[in-house]
Amino acid sequence: MEISAAELGELLNGEVVGDPSVRVHKLSKIEEGEQGALSFLANPKYEAFAYDTKASILIVNADFEPAKDIASTLIKVDDAYSSFAQIMEQLADRSRKSGVHPTAFVAESANVSEDAYIGPFCYVGEGVEVKAGTQLSAHVTIGDGSLVGKDTLIYAGVHVYHGCQVGDHCIIHAGTVIGSDGFGFVPQPDGRFKKVPQLGTVIIEDHVEIGANVTIDRGTMDATRICEGVKLDNLIQVAHNVEIGAHTVIAAQAGVSGSTKLGKHCMVGGQVGFVGHISIAAGSKINAQSGVAKSIKEPNKSWNGSPAFAFSENLRSKVYFKRLPELVKRIDELEKALAIHQNKK
């Protein structure tokens, strides 16, 4: 990669402030910038580095006004972070391959696009369809009757069980399992648990990204559904019959119990747990380590704690909690004073 400030300005539809002919050939953090590097400033906490960085070009927000001179050429854009991400996406090394590796197994009844790639030691089962541009890394399993859409990237060691669907333009990271059995068992009179067959599927819609070592269980009879644009971090458990609404994001180590439905545009912090058979309103924001024990019906509201309740109320309760030793002491004193008063009667 080598590109000038003028070319970057045109690509990002930004305003170039400084030398338009200066060129860059690599990316860097603003605090580690050096000659020939492209960096960005989006968070005001890092503004101090802008005045000392050696980066040749800085992408900044359009409303950024330097407090003093900056040696770097600036490119002013509407959203510096998004623009830098756009550059990174274009530079990402995702070279497309095509064909089937000699060590891979592809069933005769599978329909694999000539433009797709099946990597070493992959298994593509009976009746599978793999569409154009999709890339399967080493040791990927696509179970019988499954569908993988176009331009989807599946990393090493991912296992998609039978009858599941993965949409277009998805990314699934290493070690993830899609379509494993839901946790369904019926208690028996003798204390044993009898397995309930899990006959449903998993449907993953377009533009979904799933982190490493995620498990998404198949529905009992219907589908577990991950809707368009959902982003799941690493180490997440999604149980059977769950639905995660479009463009919802969930951070690492969260768990969603069976038949729970999350609305669109929710934001879920790390280690959040949801009980089963509840619904979460669109736009809900659940802070890290919260436990959600009942449905949330009011949209676009923040929640915190275990059990989770409204964020503003949670903050007020923490103020009182900090004062708890003082309040207990005052209550003890009042009880002693009351006892003395009653004894004098």
| Alpha carbon distance 312, 155 (integer Å) | 41
Distance CA 237, CA 224 (A): 12
What gap in Å lies between CA 145 and CA 276, rounded to an integer? 29
* Residue-averaged pLDDT of the chain: 94
| Statement: the pTM of the whole predicted model exceeds 0.85 | no
| Residues with Cβ within 8 Å of residue 266, at least 6 apart in sequence | 245, 248, 249, 250, 280, 282, 283, 284, 285, 286
Whose tokens are 């993988």? That residue is: 148
Annotation marks residue 240 as catalytic: yes
Closest CA to 157 of 147, 145, 170, 142: 142
**Catalytic residue from among 173, 240, 265, 341:** 240
The pLDDT tens digits of the residues spanning 302-342 come to 999 888 767 777 777 777 777 888 888 888 888 888 888 78
* pLDDT exceeds 60 at position 94: no
pLDDT exceeds 60 at position 200: yes
How far apart, in whole angstroms, are the C-alpha atoms of residue 59 and residue 33?
12
The distance in angstroms from the start CA to the end CA of the chain is 91
Percent of the chain whose pLDDT exceeds 90: 84
How confident is the model over 19-45, as pLDDT tens digits? Answer: 999 999 999 999 999 999 999 999 999
Which pLDDT belongs to residue 92?
66
How far is the CA of 261 from the CAs of 219, 221, 266, 274, in angstroms? 13, 16, 11, 10
Task: Determine the pLDDT at residue 95.
Answer: 66
Residue 345 has pLDDT above 70, yes or no: no
